Structure 1
């Protein structure tokens, strides 16, 4: 959902290096975790489908305030998990940059933004399920929270980095970016609701894909009979 649509050379060199290093550190940590815990075949299949769906919808750009679109990273995180969700965010950003949707130099920053959406959505979803929330409100709320975190992180990265060639002082830049973040927060709600419907449908037909199989089985009676 959130994505930095600035062109090549928009960020100063120190910012490019900083976000690239931080992004590489995140991906390195994810790869180490995957190597330690392994990946189930089912997760690989979900990751492939999730990456294809995310990439496809990611290319549909609405030209509002620098570009607004959906990318289903909240859904990807909920279904594939935080580690694979972060890797999918990297792959989608690489493929998108290759098509001119996003600067190559901003791969680190954009991967941080989109990976955070998937990771936060996954842990928020699991936390809400443990609080006995139903699948739809849990998934829609979790996706909205994850996407909101990504939108705010995107704004922070732009304001901290600054934009080369911009005549706006940092305070005015923060106000302009704040408006863009606000629009993305609105889109986060819409995408969150869409994610809720998708996860609810999957939970009804294949609860194992969502990890709620134990919630759909009828409870045994604990009554006492004479």
Structure 2
């Protein structure tokens, strides 16, 4: 959902180096966890489908205040998990940058933003399920929180980095970015609700896809028999 729609050379070199290094560090941790823990086959399939859907939706950009759109990273994180969700964010950003949707130099920053959305959404979803929330509010709330975290991180990255060639003082830039973040927070709610409906449907037909098999087994476990 959040994405830095700035052209090449918009960030100073130190900022490009910083966010690229942080992004590479995050993906390195993700790859290490994948190599160490392995990946379930169904998660690979979900990640592939999620990447295709995310990329397709990602290209539908509304040219409002720098550009807004949905990208389903919260949904991908909930279904595929945090590690594959982060890798999907990287792949989607690479292909999007190749099509001119986002600068190549901002791959590190944008991957960091979108991977954060997937990771936060996954852990919030699992936490809410552990608190016995129903599927729809848990998934909708998790996706909204994850996307909101990405929007806030996007705003912070832009304000910290500054924009080359901008005549706005840092304070005015902060106000302008705050407006963009606020707009993205509104879109986060819409995408969160959409995510809730999708996850609720999947839970009704394939509960194993959203990790509900163990939970249902526990609910159906008969009480112990006493003599």
TM class, shorter-length: over 0.9
Task: Tell me the equivalent position of 2:204.
Answer: 204
Q: 1:223 to 1:56 in 2, by over 3 A?
A: same
Q: 1:216 to 1:98 in 2, by over 3 A?
A: same
Deviation by residue 1:59-115 (Cα, 9 ceiling, x = unmatched): 000111000000000000000000000000000000000000000000000000000
- The count of corresponding residues between Structure 1 and Structure 2 is 226
Deviation by residue 1:146-183 (Cα, 9 ceiling, x = unmatched): 00000000000000000000011101000000000000
Q: Distance in 2 between matches of 1:72 and 1:88?
A: 11
Q: Distance in 2 between matches of 1:176 and 1:74?
A: 26
Q: Does 1:147 align with 2:138?
A: no
| Residues 2-81 of structure 1: pairs in structure 2 closer than 5 A | 2-81=2-81
Q: Distance in 2 between matches of 1:220 and 1:162?
A: 57
Q: Distance in 2 between matches of 1:225 and 1:116?
A: 49
SS at 1:112 equivalent: helix
Post-superposition shift, 1:213?
Answer: 1.7
Runs of 4+, deviation exceeding 6 Å: 223-226
Segments of 5+ residues of structure 2 without an aligned counterpart are: none
Post-superposition shift, 1:11?
Answer: 0.2
Segments of 5+ residues of structure 1 without an aligned counterpart are: none
Q: Distance in 2 between matches of 1:21 and 1:197?
A: 36
Task: Tell me the equivalent position of 1:219.
Answer: 220
What is the TM-score with the length of structure 2 in the denominator? 0.96
What is the TM-score with the length of structure 1 in the denominator? 0.97
Post-superposition shift, 1:214?
Answer: 3.2
RMSD: 1.5
Q: 1:34 to 1:224 in 2, by over 3 A?
A: closer
SS at 1:142 equivalent: helix
